[in-house]
Structures are given as C-alpha cells and as structure tokens.
Amino acid sequence: MIIGGTDTTFATMEWAMTELLRHPNKLRKVIEELDAIIGDQNVVEESNLPRLLYLDAVVKETFRIHPPVPLLVPHMPSETTVIAGYTIPKNSCIFFNVWAIQRDAEFWEDPLRFEPERFLKDTEKRNYTGNSFHFFPFGSGRRICVGIPLAEKIIMQILATLLHCFDWELPDGQQPDVKEKLRFVLTKAEPLVVVPVARLSNSIQYQ
C-alpha cells in the first residue's frame, strides 16, 4: 500500500512536470487556467480541482504515456480459457502491458506525442474508471485500483499548487529527458532537477 500510494504518485508528478517543461506551450495553458480560476490572491483549494479541466487532461496524458505501473499487478485466471485464439492455462501469471497498449497507433493518433488536448475532445472514451481497454493505467474491472480517487486529488492538488505558486527554471538551460527506468514503478532514469521562482505578488501566500 505504501509503494502503491507514494512511489506511483511521486513518479507521475515528476513525469508531468517533465513533460510540461519540455512543452512550454502546454505549460502556459496550465498557468493561464490557474490564473483564471485561482487568481493571484488565493491558494489552490480542493474545491477548485473539478474546474481545472486542462490540468486534468495533462495528468491523464501523463498517465497514458508514462503509466506508473506499466505491467499492472499480475492476474491469475481461476480456470483455463481461450482469448483471441490463445489458450490461457489455469493459474497462469498474466501481465498486461499498458505501456505498449497506451502507445499503440491503432488506438491513438500520434501516440508518442504529448497532447493533453486529446482528453478534452472525447471525455467519455478517455475515462480510466470505465471499460476503456486502450486506456487503463489503474487496471480495470473488479481488480481496478481502489486508490484512484485519492491519487487524482493528491496529484491534482500538488501539481496545481506548485505550478500556481512558482515559475520553474531548468539549470543551465538544460532540456529534461524522458529516459525511463523500470522497477515496480516506471520512473525517470535521471531525476528531474528544477529551480522554483516565486510568481505570486502576495508574499503572505508563501508563509
């Protein structure tokens, strides 16, 4: 539970920040949305999160390209079955490669491109709490991750706060890379290093 609730959350936020810094135009849209909804004199509240539609799309696109658990938790069939012509023996250990599925050009246009806007066009089909079998970073069905509501709120709250309160600069103008390292959780091969710069006019908000 600790690994599932901390490492995956941290990895997703690091990937989201990485992708936004690699795509300044997307980052600018997030900032504009935060300024319009939160304003310069307020802090991010949980009640604001449902209105941050573009940031939500950024998080979903991050889940698509960089699923925190790319092979999900292994499954085991209780009886032998045949799926798509393949015999799956009883008690086999089954892994689902969502990393590959969510980058499949058959299901996604420009699958390797970071494009949050795709999640604003067809919200029903891009809902990972349903039965969409080309976007299921949390699994699906009866074995779907029980921590989805918590993960959504924590990731959205922290990202919104970081991006609302600070501008982020890369040391020496470096470009963050997207090299991956797989253990149980899919993380960056090299940690993201950025420098925060206060952007709000009211210093009291940082106390």
State the number of CA atoms in the 13 A half-sphere of 159 facing the CB: 33
CA nearest neighbour of 169 among 10, 24, 15 = 24
SS3 content of the chain, % helix, strand, coil (to 5): 45, 10, 45
Report the binding-site residues. 145
CB contact at 8 A, 180 and 188:
yes
149 CB contacts (<8 Å, ≥6 apart)?
none
Report the binding-site residues for heme. 145
Instruction: Give first-to-last CA distance, the chain, whole Å.
Output: 32
85: left (phi over 0), alpha (psi -120 to 50) or beta: left
